Amino acid sequence: MLLETARLRLRRFQPEDAPVLAAYRSDPAVARYQGWTAPVPPESAAALVREFADGDPGQPGWFQYAIELKADGCLVGDLGVNLDENRMQAELGFTLAAGRQGCGYATEAARAVLRDLFELRGLHRVSAECDARNVDSVRLLKRVGFQQEGHRPANTWIKGEWTDDLLFGLLAERWGQLATP
Ligand SMILES: CC(C)(COP(=O)(O)OP(=O)(O)OC[C@H]1O[C@@H](n2cnc3c(N)ncnc32)[C@H](O)[C@@H]1OP(=O)(O)O)[C@@H](O)C(=O)NCCC(=O)NCCS
């Protein structure tokens, strides 16, 4: 286990996670604003999980945390951190299975990761981007303290259309001022 919260374990992915990851990432509603296309075939999920399992959260590049619910041991989603080469900045991304949304798990996981990045690893800044129509993602980012810094109209070609991106940022100084539970 890498990080722990009241209800969650944020751990490294393991090969047995592939079928569950394939199931939740194959939901068109979950994939709607993401870079992949549903359905995710079993072999792609297995390759992805192998790649995630080999990652190192201390090294630059993406590291994907598996979000596991303590109550039932189930994988409920994933949270990615892209550590910059300078190790002072990072980008966040997150996905929850549709049936696990609306319970505060993404907020809890994001706060644990932000606490680790800012308070233990001394990062200066964390960024995030999302489709301007992705209201759940916007709510989540604002809830954990991100501030909107930009709006890029028709910036990303995804699933057959140009989409607007919202840019968010959170500085260490602001994180230190937030009263996080
Ligand atoms: C983005 C995403 C992770 C947000 O998930 P979410 O379930 O809305 O976020 P949380 O898990 O933090 O849950 C928060 C909600 O649970 C509610 N909630 C219920 N019980 C709760 C509890 N015990 N504690 C905290 N919140 C609770 C909150 O009130 C909140 O609802 P609201 O947004 O209507 O106010 C999810 O929509 C998702 O996976 N989308 C598909 C993938 C995607 O687009 N990712 C983003 C790419 S940028």
pLDDT per residue as tens digits for the range 77-103 = 999 999 999 999 999 999 999 999 999
> How close is the Cα of 86 to the center of ligand 1, in Å?
30
- How far is it, in rounded angstroms, from Cα 159 to Cα 56? 30
Amino acid at 140: L
Per-residue pLDDT at 88? 98
Dihedral angle of Cα 125, 143, 165, 98, to the nearest 10 degrees: 120
> How close is the Cα of 143 to the center of ligand 1, in Å?
10
> How close is the Cα of 106 to the center of ligand 1, in Å?
6
Q: For tokens 């959170």, what's the residue? A: 170
Distances (CA, A) of 88 to 145, 148, 159: 18, 20, 33
Q: Which domains does the chain have, with CATH numbers?
A: 3-127 (3.40.630.30)
Per-residue pLDDT at 179? 74
Looking at per-residue pLDDT, the higher value among 1 and 46 belongs to 46
pTM of the model as a whole = 0.97
Nearest to 36 by CA among 60, 64, 16: 64
- Is the pLDDT assigned to residue 129 strictly greater than 80? yes
Q: For residue range 99-118, list pLDDT tens digits in order.
A: 999 999 999 999 999 999 99
Q: What is the mean pLDDT of the chain?
A: 97
Residues with CB under 6 A from ligand 1: 30, 33-34, 93-96, 101-107, 130, 134, 136-137, 139-140
- Is the pLDDT assigned to residue 135 strictly greater than 80? yes
- Is the pLDDT assigned to residue 181 strictly greater than 70? no
